[in-house]
Chain A
């Protein structure tokens, strides 16, 4: 198949109105919290006020006595909670951690850790009941940040956690869940060849995905044992299997109906409320809707890792990077599983290096268990690498763009961690930067500066399913299972429309529940346009095959005598015999019955993506405020199926990256209490904080997809903090090494004093 971008497409690359748009602009679209049933009960979760404590006792009596309270559940209602010690020893630690995170059994590991849940006649009674639940805690000392947690005498969070040291489990009980290493060449030799070596330490604060919709789950457990769950999730099948495991229910008895979802960015993959809602429904016999408040979202759901990073890089006078060394300490939150290995693999991915070493540490701390956040792990390690490269360029008086060209990877080059790159677009994005008016425009004005940073993300794939039914009027219904967090159903529909030769508007995409569509992996990893696009492509091909068979029957000829192109069937033997897709669709019921095409895929060949961002800032040296004056994001998009939504993904990722760079942080005190769990003080960018964000879509087709699609959604969040840091350095000559670079930190940088005492 020809995947060059010179291919002419009829639908792919256009900008139709998205299919679910009408409902979303009229308020008709139903998100998880909009669901209503007769007899609906309302659930709320009680959470630990302490960052680290043992639960001695839970007294439910007063809460149960409150009029309007219908049921209360705790960990003992989960499968794990009712197991004996002998039985629980047979389970995997992953299972125990997951269960304990949903409802804690004997220990709470972060402020916000769920301990009990109440179902009541209305949310106010439920909240009152929470206040009446009396829990006796034995407060324990907390390890609040990564540098404290790795100390020898740090309080240990998990009784069964030993360090997996360089691939093998050690005997050491520790808060370090894993220590791994990548190595290539000889870094010592590399540093000896350098003209300049820069050594820096970085601290980055915990930040949250910040989706505007809070978590929700509604469950109805029927007396015959079947369970239906309605929720806003990035993966309905994941909800089904996880809930089945945690509650010991046969998976097929559970049907998960994904509602519209108000943002996820990785944070709505994890299962928090669904098992709780099911338990409450089981106990009451009523449908129960459990919602989180905004404060609970901050304190009870996974943010991404705060980090401590140490980096050393050397460059020779031509600008070649001779050696790079990184030590990445990522906070996993209460249970193991930070994205430190992704961070390690992405940091140096744009560069051809002979000598490199990256050590990564996955460290548990008394904070909420981290969850994926858009290119998990990559943004922070990119900050370290891209700002140090910038500093080396400064020190050697080299152009940062030329240095990227010199060291940049091309097809056939080897990634630092091993694999060879297939067709990639790093150099092409650099060329687009070089040729862009922003790059050569004068910066103009005092305390103004420009920064460049580049970034990388892998892009994932996974199993997906699709079926397409042909309607008599020539439209088709397309059923898929990828929950739509940003407009993907339009992209999937467009890919099918391209194959079928019909307009995008003639495809009706439906995101279906777990009983109605084949297994589909989570919406994440920038994979949907790729994997579900593949499924739609193949399902559409299946439709064409069946339609071809049908028209062969109608024309009384053989299949191989029929051609199909751009929505028209043609007879090879008789030029006058043609029929459009629409015409044939109208004849199906009378000529043998309806046609449905289907596909189940698990495609390899997802191509990675590079991005290069340019930002101009202005720094107010009296207040420390940093204004973003101009932003240009260049990205290799493979093939933009719907360019408006690709731009949208880029602009959204940039906005989050800017918030991460300048203002967002979890402000923890020394005993692990977050002092800013509101949108007032967890300061995300508003429309006033950002300029227009210009996007340049470079299209280097991915050979692994029929239309050349690459994932696009995640890489935009990778370069912004580094680009902004470089711009600030360019503006006022100060290198900041802590995120966020909030006004106070900028001033401290200007005044030359260290901050927070968080350097090692």
Chain B
């Protein structure tokens, strides 16, 4: 049995620390962000649902991932090194269209059970 394998350090966003048992930083194995997220879920169930969107198979549009100081354009596919530092942060739109991102998922905010009363349209 050799040395314990080095693992990436994942910083848990403050709002999710309740699920990580109050831990700010967690050592997680994984060669890609996807693996990190999945392994994180094994350690602290419930975190994946806050980070990952099943339907689009991507990180949630409001979540950005920063690996070793750089915002990753590749999301789940970004490679993670053994010494890497990974942060999950709110995605910011410095001039990007938040609507476009929100269209990509088909989840709704809540039970959308309200009936839309469409206006009557009177025309020739």
Binding site for B on A (CB under 8 A): 54-61, 64-65, 72, 74, 76, 81, 85, 88-95, 97-98, 105-106, 135-136, 159-162, 164, 166-169, 171, 173, 180-184, 234-235, 238, 241-242, 245, 266, 269-270, 337, 339, 341-342, 344-345, 372, 374-377, 417-422, 457-463, 521-527, 602-606, 704, 714
Flag if A526 contacts B122 (CB, 8 Å).
no
List residues of chain B with CB within 8 A of the CB of A522.
Answer: 95-97
List residues 79-124 of chain B with CB under 8 A from any CB of chain A. Answer: 85, 87, 89-110, 112-124
Instruction: Name the residue on A nearest B110 (C-beta).
Output: A162
List residues of chain B with CB within 8 A of the CB of A377.
Answer: 92
Flag if A418 contacts B70 (CB, 8 Å).
no
Flag if A92 contacts B107 (CB, 8 Å).
yes
Please give the distance in Å from A749's CB to the nearest CB on chain B.
33
Flag if A266 contacts B89 (CB, 8 Å).
no
Enumerate 10 A-B pairs (CB-CB under 8 Å) in ascending A order.
A57-B122, A58-B119, A58-B122, A92-B102, A94-B101, A105-B118, A106-B117, A160-B112, A345-B89, A418-B66
List residues of chain B with CB within 8 A of the CB of A606.
Answer: 70-71
Closest 8 CB pairs of A and B: A524-B95, A94-B102, A525-B94, A341-B90, A60-B123, A342-B92, A55-B119, A183-B14
Instruction: Name the residue on B nearest A605 (C-beta).
Output: B70
Flag if A169 contacts B109 (CB, 8 Å).
yes
Binding site for A on B (CB under 8 A): 11, 13-16, 50, 62, 66, 68-74, 85, 87, 89-110, 112-124
- A525-B123 in contact given A160-B112, A169-B109 (Cβ < 8 Å): no
Please give the distance in Å from A353's CB to the nearest CB on chain B.
14
List residues of chain B with CB within 8 A of the CB of A159.
Answer: 114
Instruction: Name the residue on A nearest B16 (C-beta).
Output: A167
Please give the distance in Å from A81's CB to the nearest CB on chain B.
8
Instruction: Name the residue on B nearest A164 (C-beta).
Output: B109
Flag if A168 contacts B116 (CB, 8 Å).
no
List residues of chain B with CB within 8 A of the CB of A136.
Answer: 119
Please give the distance in Å from A388's CB to the nearest CB on chain B.
22
Tell me the complex Cα distance, A161–B66, Å. 29
Tell me the complex Cα distance, A105–B119, Å. 8
Please give the distance in Å from B118's CB to the nearest CB on chain A.
6
List residues of chain B with CB within 8 A of the CB of A81.
Answer: 118
Flag if B122 contacts A92 (CB, 8 Å).
no
Tell me the complex Cα distance, A34–B114, Å. 44
Instruction: Name the residue on B nearest A160 (C-beta).
Output: B112
Flag if A90 contacts B106 (CB, 8 Å).
yes
List residues of chain A with CB within 8 A of the CB of B73.
Answer: 461-463, 602-604
List residues of chain A with CB within 8 A of the CB of B118.
Answer: 76, 81, 105-106
Tell me the complex Cα distance, A704–B69, Å. 11
List residues of chain B with CB within 8 A of the CB of A421.
Answer: 69
List residues of chain A with CB within 8 A of the CB of B99.
Answer: 94, 97-98, 242, 270, 337
Please give the distance in Å from A553's CB to the nearest CB on chain B.
37
List residues of chain A with CB within 8 A of the CB of B74.
Answer: 602, 604
Tell me the complex Cα distance, A92–B110, Å. 10
- A345-B92 in contact given A88-B116, A180-B15, A337-B99 (Cβ < 8 Å): yes
Tell me the complex Cα distance, A531–B109, Å. 33
Instruction: Name the residue on B nearest A418 (C-beta).
Output: B87
List residues of chain A with CB within 8 A of the CB of B114.
Answer: 159-160
Residue among A76, A93, A173 facing the most chain B CB atoms (10 A cut-off): A93
Tell me the complex Cα distance, A603–B118, Å. 45
Residue among A417, A461, A704 facing the most chain B CB atoms (10 A cut-off): A417
Indicate which residue in A60, A95, A460 contacts B103 across the interface (CB closer than 8 Å): A95
Indicate which residue in B50, B89, B116 contacts A85 across the interface (CB closer than 8 Å): B116
Residue among A72, A159, A463 facing the most chain B CB atoms (10 A cut-off): A159
Indicate which residue in A56, A169, A241 contacts B120 across the interface (CB closer than 8 Å): A56
New A-B pairs, 14, CB < 8 Å, besides A91-B106, A524-B93? A56-B120, A60-B124, A91-B108, A105-B119, A160-B110, A160-B112, A167-B13, A182-B13, A242-B100, A376-B94, A419-B66, A419-B87, A420-B69, A523-B95
List residues of chain B with CB within 8 A of the CB of A704.
Answer: 70
Flag if B121 contacts A418 (CB, 8 Å).
no
List residues of chain A with CB within 8 A of the CB of B94.
Answer: 342, 372, 375-376, 457-460, 524-527, 714
List residues of chain B with CB within 8 A of the CB of A56.
Answer: 119-120
Please give the distance in Å from A493's CB to the nearest CB on chain B.
22
List residues of chain B with CB within 8 A of the CB of A92.
Answer: 102-108
Flag if A419 contacts B97 (CB, 8 Å).
no
List residues of chain A with CB within 8 A of the CB of B107.
Answer: 92
Flag if A525 contacts B70 (CB, 8 Å).
no
Tell me the complex Cα distance, A461–B75, Å. 13
Instruction: Name the residue on A nearest B99 (C-beta).
Output: A98
Instruction: Name the residue on B nearest A463 (C-beta).
Output: B73
Please give the distance in Å from B72's CB to the nearest CB on chain A.
6
Instruction: Name the residue on B nearest A714 (C-beta).
Output: B94
Flag if A420 contacts B85 (CB, 8 Å).
yes
Tell me the complex Cα distance, A522–B101, Å. 13
Tell me the complex Cα distance, A180–B110, Å. 18
List residues of chain A with CB within 8 A of the CB of B11.
Answer: 418
Instruction: Name the residue on B nearest A72 (C-beta).
Output: B123
List residues of chain A with CB within 8 A of the CB of B98.
Answer: 337
Flag if A266 contacts B106 (CB, 8 Å).
no
Indicate which residue in B87, B95, B108, B122 contacts A269 across the interface (CB closer than 8 Å): B95
Flag if B71 contacts A93 (CB, 8 Å).
no
Tell me the complex Cα distance, A377–B68, Å. 25
Flag if A180 contacts B70 (CB, 8 Å).
no
Instruction: Name the residue on B nearest A346 (C-beta).
Output: B92
Please give the distance in Å from A36's CB to the nearest CB on chain B.
29
List residues of chain A with CB within 8 A of the CB of B13.
Answer: 167, 182, 418
Tell me the complex Cα distance, A156–B122, Å. 29
Flag if A106 contacts B123 (CB, 8 Å).
no
List residues of chain B with CB within 8 A of the CB of A266.
Answer: 95
Please give the distance in Å from B77's CB to the nearest CB on chain A.
11
